[in-house]
Amino acid sequence: MTQWELHGHELANCNCDTGCPCQFMALPTHGTCEATASFQFDRGYHGDTDLSGTRAAMVLKWPGAIHQGNGTMQIIIDESATPAQRDALAKIMTGVDTNDMATMWWVFSAMSPNKLETLFLPIDFEMDMASRTGHVRVPNVFETRAEPLTNPVSGAEHRARIDLPHGFEFRVAEVAKGTTRTQGAISLENNQDSHAHLVEIHLSTTGVVEAA
């Protein structure tokens, strides 16, 4: 098994209500799971391949809860990645070279027998955890925007976080509301002012890197 580590940031938007029931061992708000997840890796490696400065994204859709399977997924890797980086990121994001159940990528892949062709396109990625804002655009595939939660009475910005001491994606997430528009092969229909989270990514072959 080739060892790897990735450190950076993630912006994800799903179709559930704010907070996402999946994070609390409950079923999806609308019975299905539809999501985008986008990543900017500031540093990392897969074996001898340097993954610093790479970007990737995923569009994911399940007819029920994730653990019920039969999902469809498509990976997008920024076109600036070298052939070696493309191969490494594709392996990591499909659970190859990863301990069973160690990362969300392993789970997503295992629960998605319908894998569409990986795309190599420019990924426009901007994210600010402090302000809970972000924007990801992949031409002709999807666009996701995140903005802070707001008080329904006063309109003031509201800050909330999810703390998962044993999570396989993150330890702490800043919660926001997100909207995704899709134009690609996977159509997401209910991602309007729905759950979004912004997190630091510190993952490896064995899961979350605690020291980070």
Query: What is the arithmetic mean of pLDDT over 3-31?
Result: 95
pLDDT in tens, 67-80: 999 999 999 999 99
Percent over 90 (pLDDT), the chain: 98
Q: Rounded to whole angstroms, what are the CA distances from 70 to 23, 115, 157, 176?
A: 20, 10, 38, 28
pLDDT at 212: 63
Among residues 145, 108, 104, 105, which one has the least CA distance to residue 124? 145
Could you give all domains of the chain from N- to C-terminal order, each with its CATH number? 4-208 (2.40.400)
Give the separation between CA 142 and CA 183, rounded to whole angstroms: 6
Give the pLDDT confidence score for residue 189 in this predicted structure: 86
| Burial environment of residue 54 by CB neighbours within 10 A (0 to 12, 13 to 18, 19 or more) | buried
pLDDT in tens, 18-61: 999 999 999 999 999 999 999 999 999 999 999 999 999 999 99
Rg (CA), the chain: 16
CB 11 within 8 A of CB 58: no
Strands (E), 49-165: 49-50, 54-62, 72-78, 114-115, 119-121, 124-128, 133-138, 142-147, 149-150, 157-158, 161-163
Q: What pLDDT is recorded for position 190?
A: 85
For residues 188 and 133, what is the distance between their CA atoms, to the nearest angstrom?
21
Joined tokens for residue 69: 């399977």
